[in-house]
Structure 1
Amino acid sequence: MRVHLKGDVICTVVILTVLCIILYTQYGFTAMWGIQNLIKETSNTRVLLGTTAKRLEEFATPRLHSGQMCNSEPVDEGTVQPTRAPSSARPPFNFKQYLRNKDCRDFKLLLNQPGKCVGDTFLLIAIKSVAEEFEKREVVRKTWGAEGLLNGVKIKMVFLLGVPKNQTVFPEWELLLRYESRAHRDILLWDFQDTFFNLTLKEINFLKWLDIFCPSVKFIFKGDADVYVNVDNIVELLKERSPGEDVFIGDVIYQAQPIRSKKSKYFIPETVYGQGIYPAYAGGGGFIMSGFTAKRLERACREVELFPIDDVFMGMCLLRIGLKPDSHEGFRTFGIVRPSAAPHLKVFDPCFYRELMVVHSLTVAEMWLMWKLLHDPEVQCNTKVVVRKQFKWTKKQQKQKEDLGLKLS
């Protein structure tokens, strides 16, 4: 009887051991299968790009960092194009999806220019563009944005792009950007959809790129592709400033309120921003900052919650580091406004542009023509207006500017 019990115990132990081994093996196989699937899903190129990322990735080395990259899942904006006026039939912006994805801000760099800032670069010009704006990029390269020496300092330039949203409308975008990058070495392309509410991603990823590949650049101008920039005046202004100090100058907007009308391009619901006033910010059409300030803003961008309007987001980052942006009359990101007393005054005049820094917005033809006029020795102006002083908007001026902004939107 004693031997029989011992045999039953041994048999039971053996059976339990076998069952445990089977269960463990099955669990391990399931876990490994799940991990392999996860790795496969993570490493696959997104549906958005198809095989594009694999073909373009060779131009993006070295990578920004070895951390985990976000997927190129876009924020749905219907058919809105970032460079066009919004249509009245535009579908509403999907803020729920935006809030779900707002913590994803690190995207793969598909086209890179790692040697852009080799040497002593005084001013880096960074222009927001979209793939189909080839003509705008070309006119900028051949006019005010030309690289080289200007008044004894080195000027460099890059264009900031994301992946086109509607690739069926512009199927040649990949081939264009690949050859354009090879020819000019000035294209930075990230793996996120190029939409209006993704402009903040350009801001964040550009500052990160700047910190890695252009750590010694003295000053940066960042603006839109449809602005005219008088780089000579900007260089002269910056020669009076120290690149090792905080510098942030532009067309500063004070006491701006969030737009709650769903018909507006800039509509922001209270669930996204509950406060009544935005912090002071410079119009995204064009502003300048020092390399020192850019480093501080890059760190602040990691700490500030993502906001869909890029220039307002930059104002939040400035508030985070305790820096007030300086306003300058030479930055006209709302264009040159005709005085009410002279509604028929021609403002497209080189005598208006000669002393300005930035004017928004010009067509390709207007930009080329203004460049030629400003460099024509036969063009003479009777008076010279100095506009370098800084100023603050009065309440009346601020109200007029906000009304103009609503009309333009």
Structure 2
Amino acid sequence: MHGLMARRYYCLRKVIVCVCTPCILLVLLFFYITIVVCLSMNNNATPGIVGKSSSHFIASGTYRNKSFSPFPKTFWELHWQGDAYWNRLQLAIDRNFNPILRPNNNVKRRFQNSKFHESLLWKSFSEVSDLDSKSGEFQKLPQQMQDFVSHMQRRDYPILNQPDGVCGAGAKGEKEPPLLLLAIKSTEFNFKSRQAIRQTWGQVGWIAGGKRNNSEGKESGGYVRRVFLIGKEDPQELGVDTTELLKLESKHYGDILQWDFKDTFFNLTLKDVLFWSWFTQFCNQIQFVFKGDDDVFVNSLNMIAFLQDQLDMPQAHKTLQDFMVGDVIGAALPSRVNKSKYFIPDSFYKGLYPMYAGGGGVLYSGLLVKRLHSISKRVHMFPIDDVYVGMCMYRLNAHPVHHPAFLTFDFPAKEEEAVCSYHRILLVHKRSPVQVVRLWADVKQTQRQCWDVPLRDGNKKKKKTLSATSQ
């Protein structure tokens, strides 16, 4: 009896071993694969739009150099999904800086070679355009997008009007390097807006700031210069030619910078690129730039004091290389509404936008302008100007800083009604020429009454996740 039970037990054990062993091995194998995958994801993962990472777009985890930018999964992925035109153009350039695909090339030297970058731009167009001409994709784009694509590779437009030998209009007897250049995007016909700015917040020369954040109570100030960035209108379309009037305006005020390209909404990006080039050549001493539209109101007194505070920061000379402050928008989606002026079809671009500062007005350092000029030669132009600046910032591994005193979407409800509301801001959008003149008079009249009012909380972390349609 005992022998029979022993034999049955022995047989049962063999059956259990034969059946369970493969299952146990499969479980162990699955567990092992899970651990390997998790470790791989942790090593290669990049943060969202707000963060930084050690993995770089040229070859994640293989080439570590702080001069290169990380690529968040929401933007500039190594493996593009779909066949969006801009994405393919940019990928054609990025491949040339991948040490795996180009193992025998000096990546750092190529990163700094300006002529090499320009040749890559043209080469990428020929590669991608040949494919599109065969598929007929170009003809499917909206007309304004076709117009943009047809000349988006060109960046060498002649200058029609420019300040006479200086970096914008300013004081002749400047006793120190200018603190700020006001670079304001305008059009030929917006004379009223330019004149309102000249008479109010856009005045040049020595401008005294406030005593804000100054423990010694000393008045801060700095020299300011001004330039208006303008393209060319088509006189046949509008029935009037303002060429001679603009020449007279340029001669009288010395603050017109005009290029010979068609002034359209999508060409606002071209104004940035050409301005960066001009600035690099003529504005070596400028410490900061305010780039904005001609329909904003700026409290330039606050801006001067704010910039002086930045210069007083510890190790300011290091932080100024990446200095950009404005109304920052993160994780914005391209507008797919075809009636919107911000409309970007998915056949042209796919993915989220990078973090960027709203184009109504933004502050950045003169050092950063020169870096943007250099990196822009490696980034294909994009129809939305502030988004394009964000793209270039990512390539520099730099990020704009949000400040609540930039109100590019106007005041929150009822906040504007407070007596000192305009003393708490750096910028508000959008205001007509008449409103700008009136607001400036009010700010000057209430200056003593609102002397100690602080800026809107600049330490409060405020993130925006907006669709580009709300701009």
TM-score, normalised on structure 1?
Answer: 0.70
Number of the residue aligned with 1:291: 366
Answer yes or no: is 1:362 the counterpart of 2:419: no
Number of the residue aligned with 1:138: 195
Any gaps of 5 or more consecutive residues in structure 2? 1-117, 119-140, 209-220
Letter in structure 2 aligned against 1:368: V
Letter in structure 2 aligned against 1:125: L
Q: C-alpha separation between the residues in 2 aligned to 1:382 and 1:154?
A: 22
Number of the residue aligned with 1:221: 290
Distance 1:375-1:97 versus aligned 2 partners, 3 A rule:
closer
Answer yes or no: is 1:129 the counterpart of 2:186: yes
Report the CA distance between 1:96 and its aligned residue: 3.1
Q: C-alpha separation between the residues in 2 aligned to 1:158 and 1:387?
A: 28
Q: C-alpha separation between the residues in 1 aligned to 2:237 and 2:333?
A: 37
Report the CA distance between 1:301 and its aligned residue: 1.0
Answer yes or no: is 1:198 the counterpart of 2:248: no
Number of the residue aligned with 2:131: none
Number of the residue aligned with 1:278: 353
Letter in structure 1 aligned against 2:292: G
Report the CA distance between 1:203 and its aligned residue: 0.3
Larger Rg: 2
More deviation, 160-169/366-375: 160-169
Report the CA distance between 1:92 and its aligned residue: 4.4
Letter in structure 2 aligned against 1:108: P
| Secondary structure class of the residue paired with 2:410 | coil
Q: C-alpha separation between the residues in 2 aligned to 1:348 and 1:126?
A: 30
Distance 1:92-1:379 versus aligned 2 partners, 3 A rule:
farther
| Secondary structure class of the residue paired with 2:266 | helix
RMSD, aligned CA: 2.5
Number of the residue aligned with 1:150: 207
Number of the residue aligned with 1:99: 149
Number of the residue aligned with 1:336: 411
Number of equivalent positions? 307
| Secondary structure class of the residue paired with 2:231 | strand
Match runs of 1:165-244 below 5 Å? 165-169=234-238, 171-242=240-311, 244=317
More deviation, 381-390/142-151: 381-390
Q: C-alpha separation between the residues in 1 aligned to 2:242 and 2:426?
A: 32
Letter in structure 2 aligned against 1:140: I
Equivalent of 1:322 in 397, 406, 426: 397
Contact 2:408 2:427 in 1 (8 A): yes
Report the CA distance between 1:389 and its aligned residue: 1.6
Answer yes or no: is 1:251 the counterpart of 2:327: yes
Q: C-alpha separation between the residues in 2 aligned to 1:124 and 1:141?
A: 13
Match runs of 1:73-88 below 5 Å? none
Distance 1:280-1:97 versus aligned 2 partners, 3 A rule:
same
Number of the residue aligned with 2:37: none
Contact 1:254 1:393 in 2 (8 A): no
Show CA shifts across 1:60-113 (max 9, x none). Answer: xxxxxxx9xxxxxxxxxxxxxxxxxxxxxxx94432343232211221111111
Answer yes or no: is 1:161 the counterpart of 2:224: no
Report the CA distance between 1:214 and its aligned residue: 0.5
Letter in structure 2 aligned against 1:278: Y
Report the CA distance between 1:382 and its aligned residue: 11
Letter in structure 2 aligned against 1:266: Y
Report the CA distance between 1:194 and its aligned residue: 0.5
Letter in structure 1 aligned against 2:422: Y
Equivalent of 2:382 in 289, 298, 307: 307
Match runs of 1:380-391 below 5 Å? 380=449, 384-391=453-460
Number of the residue aligned with 1:352: 421
Q: C-alpha separation between the residues in 1 aligned to 2:163 and 2:240?
A: 24
Q: C-alpha separation between the residues in 2 aligned to 1:104 and 1:382?
A: 49
Identity %: 37
Show CA shifts across 1:246-282 (max 9, x none). Answer: 210000001101111212111111222121x100000
Letter in structure 1 aligned against 2:281: I
Report the CA distance between 1:388 and its aligned residue: 4.8
Contact 2:233 2:262 in 1 (8 A): yes
Q: C-alpha separation between the residues in 1 aligned to 2:394 and 2:236?
A: 38
Distance 1:166-1:281 versus aligned 2 partners, 3 A rule:
farther
Distance 1:346-1:226 versus aligned 2 partners, 3 A rule:
same
Q: C-alpha separation between the residues in 2 aligned to 1:379 and 1:154?
A: 23
Show CA shifts across 1:307-330 (max 9, x none). Answer: 010000000000010001000000
Contact 1:126 1:221 in 2 (8 A): yes
Letter in structure 2 aligned against 1:355: R
Q: C-alpha separation between the residues in 2 aligned to 1:185 and 1:389?
A: 35
Q: C-alpha separation between the residues in 2 aligned to 1:266 and 1:258?
A: 8
Show CA shifts across 1:385-409 (max 9, x none). Answer: 4325244435xxx35x54xx635x6
Show CA shifts across 1:154-186 (max 9, x none). Answer: 100000000013555362411110000010000
TM-score, normalised on structure 2?
Answer: 0.61
Q: C-alpha separation between the residues in 2 aligned to 1:377 and 1:101?
A: 49
Q: C-alpha separation between the residues in 1 aligned to 2:246 and 2:305?
A: 33
Distance 1:134-1:97 versus aligned 2 partners, 3 A rule:
closer
Q: C-alpha separation between the residues in 2 aligned to 1:186 and 1:329?
A: 30
Q: C-alpha separation between the residues in 1 aligned to 2:201 and 2:419?
A: 14
Distance 1:121-1:170 versus aligned 2 partners, 3 A rule:
farther
Contact 2:289 2:365 in 1 (8 A): yes
Number of the residue aligned with 2:158: 108
Letter in structure 1 aligned against 2:156: D
| Secondary structure class of the residue paired with 2:272 | helix
Contact 1:350 1:374 in 2 (8 A): no
Q: C-alpha separation between the residues in 1 aligned to 2:238 and 2:455?
A: 46
